[in-house]
Structure 1
Amino acid sequence: MPQSTGVPGVKSAARTVALLELLADRGDRASRLDELAADLSVPRSSMYQLLQTLVDRGWVRSDTTGSLYGIGIRALLTGTSYLDSDRHARMVRPYLDEASDALGETIHMARRDGSDVVYLVTRESHEYPRTISRVGRRIPAHANALGKALLAEYPDAGLPLPELPLRALTENTLTDPARLIADLAAVRERGYSIEREETVAGIAGFGFALHYGSPAIDAISCSVPVHRLTRDHEARIVSVMRDVQTRIETLLPPSAGDPDWR
């Protein structure tokens, strides 16, 4: 979650954001008025008024009966604007294309958001079916290569993790804090992270933090099915991704006058 500014929140704004995040998290599962009111502890009448306001403005959509609600198209337009206006995501894309062409694997760029990472750019491999890593998807940072590359930027006592217990996405996800801390120490030593079937069964990943800020908030990674991961291919992945990492960091040094986004 974004850092608090210490300014008292506006209740109606906080309620609106909470509703939109809830609907977005549910994806294609439609929600009913009573369900939303209960989940957000909002009076039914207040929730109805809020929903109708957001439906009128395109942020929420409803079915023909007016009883089911989902996220609206305005949310997509805002998300697209975020990607279009982000200098780093825009300039990294050609380098991810190169890495994807060179390796034949799926390449990602993601940004840390609190204790999660959010995919900003994805180049899918044509060699195997799509994974869960679509643009905009949010994954716990401790559960994948991108996130672990970014967590390793922090001291062990200051890791931006959620409250325990850590959530498991597969049986291989590191949910024990001691094991995670040991893994992050190895990330710092070798300079990149490795995850083996910790996010998706059958998929391994290699993550590389992008140091154009301190601590790094962006990372790139390569995902590969474990059945394709020979020792030679792993060495090739690390070589190509390190080269891409270096070129991106050279291309995108901290620029005077650029906003220092929180």
Structure 2
Amino acid sequence: MSSPTTNAALGGGAQVKSAVRTIELLEYFAGNTGMHSLAEVQEQTGYPKSSLYMLLRTLTELGWVETDATGTRYGIGVRALLVGSSYIDGDAVVAAARPTLDLLSEDTGETIHLARLDGANVVYLATRQSQHSLRPFTRIGRRLPAYATSHGKALLATHTDEQIRRLLPEQLEPLTEHTHTDREELIEELAEVRARGYAVDREENTLGVRCFGVAIPYRSPARDAVSVSVPVARLSPGREETIRHALFDARDRLTLATRHF
């Protein structure tokens, strides 16, 4: 599970190796919800069972990992929530974006997301729920492949084609039947995204939901983007046009709000 490149860059010493394993173990639990047996974790990580057990016990005592009633299954602990919350609470972009996200939510009545590019994925930093009973739901902290979301594609479009080829594999894992699975086809679409200034997720992430996203250009390539998610059943050509204008207005406001970042 550990990255040879990462370990080499960190020096590969025993103390650093232990730190890398700790982080990778926490990331494993964060990406695999629920409780997991020691054997399951060992199979996925490849760590020696004896050292894995000691690491899990230490993390459990410190609150980073929790166990079930039997003490034999493990999952992410409350300490991870506290650290994650502090990241959101202390992030300058999230704070600066709040008024714009509120306004975009009022203008569209739909679900709004602020997301950040993290490698080949996007991580949700803030959300505003739709005012309608039929609405998509995404929790803060969720990670999704950038190529399957509108804000992810808006962010990828701020990179060069060669940068995208280095970032993504040739074959992409589908989330739905509409997801791009060919990197070169995705790159062709990203050229269109650059030309029109926004990206569209056409049920590529969740069936029945279409999303529109724009990047916030306070740095280049862009790191953050905002999106509007709409159930297809509620989307008409006129409605789509209204959402695009609202997104462009939000991008202008966010560009102004983050101009010193």
TM-score, normalized by the shorter chain, greater than 0.5: yes
**2:70 pairs with 1:59:** no
Describe the superposition over 1:197-248 as per-residue Cα deviations: whole angstroms up to 9, x where unpaired. Answer: 0110000011100011111100001010111111111110011111111011
- The alpha-carbon deviation at position 94 of structure 1 amounts to 1.8
**2:76 pairs with 1:71:** yes
Q: Which runs of 5+ in 2 are unaligned?
A: none
**2:154 pairs with 1:149:** yes
Call closer, same or farther: CA 1:168–1:238 in 2, change over 3 Å. same
Amino acid at match of 1:34: A
Look up the match of 2:18: 12
Look up the match of 2:37: 32
- The alpha-carbon deviation at position 132 of structure 1 amounts to 4.7
- Is 1:213–1:254's contact at 8 Å kept on the other side of the alignment? no
| TM-score, structure 1 normalization | 0.92
The correspondence of residues 153-192 of structure 1 with structure 2, limited to 5 A, is 153-159=158-164, 161-192=167-198
Higher helix share: 2
Look up the match of 2:210: 204
Q: Which runs of 5+ in 1 are unaligned?
A: 256-262
- Is 2:170–2:182's contact at 8 Å kept on the other side of the alignment? no
| TM-score, structure 2 normalization | 0.92
2: CA distance, partners of 1:129 / 1:234: 17
Sequence identity (%):
46
Describe the superposition over 1:75-115 as per-residue Cα deviations: whole angstroms up to 9, x where unpaired. Answer: 00000000011000111022111111111100110000000
Call closer, same or farther: CA 1:129–1:8 in 2, change over 3 Å. farther
Correspondence for 2:132 among 127, 134, 144 = 127
1: CA distance, partners of 2:133 / 2:222: 31
Call closer, same or farther: CA 1:129–1:23 in 2, change over 3 Å. farther
2: CA distance, partners of 1:176 / 1:65: 45
**What SS does the aligned partner of 2:123 have?**
strand
Q: CA RMSD in A?
A: 1.6
- The alpha-carbon deviation at position 8 of structure 1 amounts to 2.0
**What SS does the aligned partner of 2:167 have?**
coil
**What SS does the aligned partner of 2:159 have?**
coil
- Is 1:116–1:140's contact at 8 Å kept on the other side of the alignment? yes
- The alpha-carbon deviation at position 58 of structure 1 amounts to 0.2
- Is 2:97–2:257's contact at 8 Å kept on the other side of the alignment? no
Count of residue pairs the alignment pairs up: 252
2: CA distance, partners of 1:60 / 1:43: 18
